[in-house]
């Protein structure tokens, strides 16, 4: 079998997660690893068992590299995705696609012009029971959607000594909690329900107005503690928490809460979608269970099981019932669909995976949520 050769850019938290998922695909081989300088690339490549450490320009010059994964801080997504497309490479980009709508719009247009495969890593769509909910909605099991309640809670920025590049607007953008994890939540809501968010009312809060920035490198989610003299005080302008009211194109309503300072919540996305037939409730920290609420019958819990799921959800299940699948499997299943397109050599007419256009859509919603917070008023999307 001739394997598709891949280069990965960036080795923070998410880069190695991409690599691990790619290694589970039989027709893909990660052969190149890019970092900010060749010394770091060499060290990380040795650590991760990748044969070619390189700079970004060196990566683009490698003719046998078919696809590039952009896993760098947000401010680099636009320039690196654009350069990769212009070099004739298929691109998988981390979210957000860009720092602003103009950049994202340009990338969508360029991707369309080149015909190259383009994807954004909205991997949470690929929990099997998320696709089960989408399919149940499409088949009429849910009925007309009455309301949506969602939350995405984390605690990795709980202390004022917790610090990361995502706290710096020049690297991450003017929104943090909404842009970082709220984008996943807004994407998954529209993906499952088929509804469009048409208006938003947002209220942000910055719990830690000042944080202590480490003067030494500390990797994301590492939990390492330094000494007092190892910190510098930094003013924080992006949100730790956000509450957003939503209006949808079917005339009904929803609300979401996002937080990166909720003690004990490591990475919990929760959804409750109420329809005229039943209610769906799902929690990403128990992703193999879907609660189905009924008015006139006993409530049910559907366990992730290929023999009990619709065919569309079964397509992204690898193991039998009772053999749990979780976060690492979501990227594998997304990449499985992406690399079917890469093998075909072009973007499908109707992609099943999230594309640059989906990245633009979520950036638009997040920008309007930020606008709403600033104006303290309802804002059209």
| E runs forming strands in 297-369 | 300-303
- Per-residue confidence (pLDDT) for residue 337, from 0 to 100: 98
Confidence of residue 218 (pLDDT cuts 50, 70, 90): low
Cβ(85)–Cβ(77) below 8 Å: no
Q: Tell me if residue 75 falls in helix, strand or coil.
A: helix
Confidence of residue 231 (pLDDT cuts 50, 70, 90): confident
261-288: average pLDDT: 98
**Residue 215 structure tokens:** 């003067």
Confidence of residue 214 (pLDDT cuts 50, 70, 90): confident
Question: How high does pLDDT run on average in the chain?
Answer: 95
- Per-residue confidence (pLDDT) for residue 230, from 0 to 100: 80
| E runs forming strands in the chain | 4-9, 28-34, 52-54, 65-70, 90-93, 118-120, 145-153, 197-205, 210-214, 231-235, 241-248, 253-259, 268-275, 279-283, 289-293, 300-303, 379-380
206-218: average pLDDT: 87
What are 306-325's pLDDT values in tens digits?
Answer: 999 999 999 999 999 999 99
Q: Minimal CA–CA distance to 97: which of 208, 4, 217, 183?
A: 183
**Chain centroid to CA 345:** 24
- Report the relative pairing of strands 65-70 and 4-9 from DSSP bridges: parallel
Q: For 2, which DSSP code?
A: P
Percent of the chain's residues with pLDDT above 90: 92
Q: Is the pLDDT of residue 219 over 90?
A: no
Q: Minimal CA–CA distance to 287: which of 301, 308, 307, 273?
A: 301
Place of tokens 């099991």: 141
Percent of the chain's residues with pLDDT above 70: 97
87-91: average pLDDT: 98
122-144: average pLDDT: 98
What are 16-75's pLDDT values in tens digits?
Answer: 999 999 999 999 999 999 999 999 999 999 999 999 999 999 999 999 999 999 999 999
What are 61-87's pLDDT values in tens digits?
Answer: 999 999 999 999 999 999 999 999 999
153-165: average pLDDT: 94
337-363: average pLDDT: 97
Buried b (16+ CB within 10 A) or exposed e, 203-214: ebebebeebbbb
207-217: average pLDDT: 88
- Report the relative pairing of strands 145-153 and 118-120 from DSSP bridges: unpaired
CA atoms within 13 A on the CB side of 74: 25
Q: Is-above-0.75 flag for pTM?
A: yes
Q: Is the pLDDT of residue 223 over 70?
A: no
Can you name the residues that pair with 346 across neighbouring β-strands? none
The number of beta carbons lying within 10 Å of the beta carbon of residue 16 is 17
- Per-residue confidence (pLDDT) for residue 171, from 0 to 100: 87
**Residue 269 structure tokens:** 């996305």
Cβ(33)–Cβ(40) below 8 Å: no
- Per-residue confidence (pLDDT) for residue 18, from 0 to 100: 98
């Amino acid at each position: 079998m001739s394997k598709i050769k891949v280069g990965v850019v960036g080795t923070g938290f998410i880069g190695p997660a991409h690599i691990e998922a790619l290694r589970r695909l039989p027709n893909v081989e990660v052969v190149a690893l890019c970092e900010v300088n060749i010394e770091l690339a060499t060290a990380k490549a040795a650590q991760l068992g990748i044969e070619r450490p390189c700079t970004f320009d060196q990566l683009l010059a490698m003719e046998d590299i078919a696809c590039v994964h952009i896993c760098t801080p947000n401010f680099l997504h636009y320039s690196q995705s654009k350069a990769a497309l212009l070099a004739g490479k298929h691109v998988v980009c981390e979210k957000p696609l860009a720092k602003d709508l103009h950049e994202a719009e340009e990338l969508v247009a360029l991707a369309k012009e080149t015909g190259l495969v383009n994807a954004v890593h909205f991997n949470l769509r690929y929990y099997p029971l998320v696709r089960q909910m989408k399919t149940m909605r499409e088949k009429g099991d849910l009925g007309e959607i009455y309301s949506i309640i969602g939350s995405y809670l984390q605690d990795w920025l709980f202390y004022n000594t917790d610090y990361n590049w995502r706290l710096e607007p020049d690297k991450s953008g003017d929104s943090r909690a909404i842009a970082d994890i709220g984008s996943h939540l807004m994407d998954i809501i529209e993906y499952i329900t088929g509804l469009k968010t048409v208006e938003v009312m947002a209220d942000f809060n910055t719990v830690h107005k000042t944080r202590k920035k480490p003067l030494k490198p500390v990797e994301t989610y590492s939990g390492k503690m330094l000494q007092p003299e190892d910190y510098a005080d930094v003013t924080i302008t992006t949100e730790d928490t956000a509450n957003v009211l939503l209006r949808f194109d079917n005339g009904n309503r929803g609300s979401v809460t996002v937080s990166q300072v909720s003690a004990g919540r490591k990475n919990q996305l929760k959804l409750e979608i109420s329809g005229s037939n039943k209610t769906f409730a799902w929690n990403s920290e128990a992703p193999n269970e879907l609660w189905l609420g009924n008015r006139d019958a006993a409530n049910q819990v559907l366990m992730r099981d290929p023999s009990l799921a619709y065919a569309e959800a079964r397509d992204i299940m690898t193991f039998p019932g009772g053999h749990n699948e979780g976060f690492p499997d979501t990227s594998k299943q997304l990449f499985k669909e992406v690399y079917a397109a890469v093998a075909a050599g072009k973007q499908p007419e109707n992609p099943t995976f999230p594309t640059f256009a989906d990245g633009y859509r979520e950036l638009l919603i997040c920008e309007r949520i930020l606008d709403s917070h600033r104006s303290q008023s309802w804002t059209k999307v």
